[in-house]
Structure 1
């Protein structure tokens, strides 16, 4: 057994399943990552050959069990290589991870289009099996058919080529955005008027007297909300929204064309129609109808929201008749402050990153009856990463990694990633958060209310992976979750910060230690309705663009 597969330090005798070190995550360099990935993919291919070489009758033990283990090994390569592509500080490791992610995806496509494998599952009799097993096999057969396994050989080959192209193009698109780190410079502190004092302090002038503001989240969120100078907001938003431009125009066009061709080859009018075949909405028409209903329900209120913001803008810009893209957040905050007596800047001192994280841990410990134990002495891909075990009673039920602060060449948004799929008796779930919150190493790391909400949201995804990763089959764990449910745990958890008593448990002033005043929290809820319909309209635009 390779050293990378050795049982991780600190294993508890009472663990229901073993905790193994993620196979690819801690490769010392690009070469060792490549060797381990090649070995892992070779093992997957060997498992497939063994499955296909077994004769009839097909049984759970000679088909479903080895196939499930094959999927587990493949998902580990897919998940960890993609994660390294997003977060590893070494460029060579990122590029090697990209190569092997694409190789793993190619094999996954081969697997999904393997007709003999599909036929074996068709022959599998599950009539006497438990509901969990029946459900897993039903999803396996569904996914085979959605992939196009029942098409002729020439069509399957074309599908394979298109899927490989989609994977490669998507990786190019994401890489271009991640590596396009942008900033603007302003002449001095006067250009930061309106911004919180901690933000101004964290952005001192350089040797030339100018101040640099980046397109990272800890910079853009306060600037878009509070900077009084519209030109500063405009310039920063331009750079933020144009990351990857112009290179990604051609990449996106190629991606859209390839997706459309794939959908047509599979017998659908559009990629949107194809991609929702296993979703509740069911069809592209369902999407159109749903978006139309939401648009009709929110349109009048959105107009009212817009008129309120324009009226406030006229106090600064007489005769203003419209809002620019860089106006909406700024004037929404002014309306909250002036009409609802809620100044979001006053909350920032109560949201020091470390205290927020402690509060999140405390609240979820109480909600779910688990505890988090800090793990030391295990390898990580960057010194800022923290590792925790999730423990229920005397049993460890999973492990997670927190990579929560911005750095060069790192994924620029916020997401939860599955690193090891949890399967009962085989492996405990392991997952990671990659986010871009203020860094305590650079100051008090005060957060916006929106960032606190995002942290709770992403942690909801993380806990979902920890709690559901104990089923018998991978298709019934986080790898096979019904997509329409994917946001439910995260949306649920973020709601807790809207509860006044919950918020006051961890929102303490970073200097005085005093809890946030109750009246502040009450104002948060009252002011939350400002521009709500405009936010819905924005989501409609994004949804329509995605659909089309």
Structure 2
């Protein structure tokens, strides 16, 4: 009888720097040894033995890289973050060496897959394709150039990310600048010895201030500080990132990086991505214009001579329109969204839907006292473990994301992941969240469920969210819908002082108000998508990224570009997603279609949730995303549900 699998990722991310380096070196050695043995296998070696050796060698590298990424983005100790960054570089260099090793490719290419199952054939189809995309079939000189470029890109990407995470800025303002902010926010920002209050560009400070502060000059000052992060440090870094990716793509025979980066996605080509962006932008244009006109009209109530809406006005005016025209003040729901209740609500709802139990783990080491650990059980069977690192601190990742710690594999390893977020922290003041924060929590938890449920595949190379990249967001976007349903919200949204459930009529007004601004939101997303795509499909020789932002902002959104601002230098997706930010809206089209099943059968009904888990989440990357969706819907996905969402009246 085999020993039960035990999660053990925590010890790899909480150890001293020397031990961390040693563990990374052991992973590198395991991978090198496995690959060396793979290349010596005789042609008569059974396929399973060949594939198992390759899968385990790759998994050793992938999991070591994943843990290094968590440490680099979250660990409070600079020495450990630096060790993780160095480890990431070494791991990626070896991974590139393997992808360009013709001996490895030849061994895998000769494996007879005729008797293997469909998932194995799909996996090897992806593996061999990725070898070719890495340049394995090119001459020695080309492979050497590719290798050097790939190694340099890892370093540049790390620098771009580091310059963002380490650049938190603060503005000093008079206490009167807090007029309009919630009481808990005001109390948490007491004046210093100089009588000024200090507001940072971290999300829990930034978003409420831009939403509620009545002082337009103060909003502008904070907004500009946020839009100057990454400057000037990332000016040359981003330019290098774009240039080196273009050089790599053309070396491999592609016209530009965007052509290379879209080839293995559902969209398949950069031109198709561009067509999709224009289609969504055109569909939302009239609604955007109406939204903007309403904001300008509202601004003229305060300033009769106003001829435009500035970007630092938009969040405030949007909130005022919702309060005055839709009878919804977003501050009224904050007392119902206290962080600990929201967290428990997300856990309880998803446990009920997907038939699992979450058990807190108290004796596991964590990388910061804020971090919590949970084991996921189905009955008595342990399915995986996750960590919640949910509150902001210095030198930590500034946004919200799910990070892998271990990619699971049936019979070998349990999946482990972490949510890295920046929500208000419980303390002397109640940690009251915006409704948008609640949606973000559900969204990231959707990624986590995909990772855990999809982490029991036959091969680690198919584990978790290893689907096409432009599908990855769909499961997480769909789970946001539970944060918009009155029945679901009332299971956990209780007033932090009175315990009263969030009133249904308040939810109805909130949802009605949420319809306002949808045109602006979609066009803003298409601006980001167009910037991402154009930055990587234009000739970088004389490309001015700031000028491109100015050009595209004028095409896609009505807010004027302001000189001396550098949004793109803190747009971390320009590294991770490169040309493919379109994927968020592409996935949303699919997510809206997936959700139609739950709209019909009920959001609290475990039956469709279990069917969805089996058809879409558990297969991981074992099949094409379009086929997984077809298995759940019983048909191919289409645009109808998305169009209904986009055109729903405000």
**TM > 0.5 fold call:** yes
Offset, 1:517: 1.2
SS in 2 for 1:330: helix
Offset, 1:481 = 2.1
Distance 2:170 2:219 in 1: 12
SS of residue matched to 2:13 = coil
- Is 1:128 aligned to 2:115, yes or no? yes
Aligned equivalents of 1:511, 1:496: Cα separation in 2: 24
Aligned to 1:287: 273
TM-score of the superposed pair, with normalisation by structure 2 = 0.81
Query: Once the two structures are superposed, what CA deviation does each residue of 1:174-227 show, in whole Å capped at 9, x if it has no partner?
Result: 111111121111111x21111111111111111221111111111111011111
Deviation at 1:442, TM superposition (A): 4.5
Give the conservation status (yes or no) of the 8 Å contact 2:254–2:260.
Answer: yes
Matching residue of 1:52: 39
Is 1:435 aligned to 2:460, yes or no?
no
- Measured in 2, the distance between the counterparts of 1:240 and 1:442 equals 27
Offset of residue 59 of structure 1:
3.0
The separation in 1 between residues aligned to 2:473 and 2:274, in whole angstroms, is 21
Deviation at 1:327, TM superposition (A): 1.2
Aligned residue among 181, 203, 212 for 2:198: 212
Q: 491, 498, 506: which is aligned to 2:484?
A: 498
| CA–CA distance in structure 1, aligned partners of residues 149 and 313 of structure 2 | 41
1:383 aligns with 2:400: no
Q: State the SS of the aligned residue for 1:485.
A: coil
Is the Cα–Cα contact under 8 Å of residues 495 and 502 in structure 2 kept in the other structure?
A: yes
Match of 2:592 in 1: none
Distance 1:227 1:446, change over 3 A: same
Unaligned runs of 5+ in 1: 1-12
Matches within 5 A, 1:243-258: 243-258=229-244
Q: Which residue of 2 aligns with 1:462?
A: 448
Tell me the equivalent position of 1:405. 391
Equivalent position of 1:475 in the other structure: 461
Aligned residues of 1:386 and 1:403 also touching (Cα < 8 A): yes
Report the equivalent of 1:5: none
CA distance in 1 between counterparts of 2:77 and 2:512 reads 46
Aligned to 1:521: 507
2:211 equivalent to 1:225: yes
The match for 2:577 is none
Aligned mates of 2:3, 2:303 — CA distance in 1: 64
Partner of 1:174: 161
Q: Are 1:154 and 2:114 an aligned pair?
A: no
> Partner of 2:77 in structure 1?
90
* 8 A contact 1:349–1:510 mirrored in 2: yes
In structure 2, what is the Cα distance between the partners aligned to 1:380 and 1:474? 25
C-alpha distance in 2, partners of 1:147/1:478?
23
> Which residue in the other structure is 2:129 paired with?
142
State the shift of 1:63 in Å.
1.5
Contact 1:14 1:394 in 2 (8 A): no
**Consecutive unaligned residues in structure 2, runs of 5 or more:** 535-650
Give the distance between the partners of 2:198 and 2:142, measured in 1 at CA: 53
1:399-418 deviations in whole A, cap 9, x for unaligned?
00110001111111111011
**Structure 2 Cα separation of the partners of residues 141 and 37 of structure 1:** 26
User: How far off is 1:269 after superposition?
Assistant: 1.3
Q: Report the Cα offset of residue 241 of structure 1.
A: 2.0
**Equivalent of residue 303 in structure 2, options 284, 305, 317:** 317
Match status 1:79 vs 2:71: no
Q: CA deviation at 1:14?
A: 9.6
1:48 deviation in Å? Answer: 1.0
Note if 1:484 corresponds to 2:473: no
Question: Are the equivalent residues in 1 in contact too, given 2:291–2:516 (CA < 8 A)?
Answer: yes
1:98-133 deviation digits (Å, cap 9, x = unpaired): 000111011111111111111111111000111121
SS of residue in 1 equivalent to 2:145: helix
Are 1:139 and 1:475, in contact at CA under 8 Å, matched by a contact in 2?
Answer: no
Q: Secondary structure at the match of 1:483?
A: coil
Asked if the contact 1:14/1:395 (under 8 Å) is kept, the reply is no
Q: Residues 369, 537 of structure 1: CA spacing in aligned structure 2 closer, same or farther, 3 A cutoff? A: same
Question: Cα offset for 1:281?
Answer: 1.1
Counterpart Cα distance in 1 of 2:196 and 2:127: 58
Q: SS state of the match for residue 505, structure 1? A: coil
Normalization by structure 1: what TM-score? 0.95
Shift of 1:504: 1.1
Shift of 1:20: 3.1
What per-residue deviation string (whole Å, max 9, x for no partner) do you get for residues 488-534 of structure 1? Answer: 22111111011111111111111111111111100111111111111
Matched-pair contact (CA < 8 Å) for 1:98–1:171: yes
- Partners of 2:137 and 2:179 lie apart in 1 by 63
Partner Cα distance (1:15, 1:235) in 2? 59
User: Once the two structures are superposed, what CA deviation does each residue of 1:459-513 show, in whole Å capped at 9, x if it has no partner?
Assistant: 1111111101000112221263222321122111111011111111111111111
What's the CA shift for 1:360? 0.7
Distance 2:447 2:425 in 1: 22
8 Å Cα contact 1:22/1:420 also seen in 2: no
- More divergent stretch after superposition (177-186 vs 94-103): 177-186
**Separation in structure 1 between the aligned mates of residue 5 and residue 142 of structure 2, nearest angstrom:** 42
Asked whether the 8 Å contact 1:373–1:389 carries over to 2, the reply is yes
Q: Give the structure 1 partner of residue 569 of structure 2.
A: none
CA contact (8 A) 1:25 1:81 kept: yes
Q: Distance in 2 between matches of 1:518 and 1:70?
A: 53
Q: Is 1:20 matched up with 2:8? A: yes
> In the alignment, which residue of structure 2 is the partner of 1:115?
102
Give CA-to-partner distance per residue, 1:343-372, whole Å, 9 cap, x none: 001111111100100111111111101010
Task: Give 1:186's match in structure 2, choosing from 154, 165, 173.
Answer: 173
Aligned residues of 1:17 and 1:427 also touching (Cα < 8 A):
yes
Q: Is 1:537–2:523 an aligned residue pair?
A: yes
1:203 aligns to what?
A: 189
- 1:294-333, aligned counterparts within 5 Å? 294-333=280-319
Deviation at 1:18, TM superposition (A): 4.0
> Partner residue of 1:70?
57
Shift of 1:23: 5.7
Q: Is the 8 A contact 1:15 1:395 kept in 2?
A: no
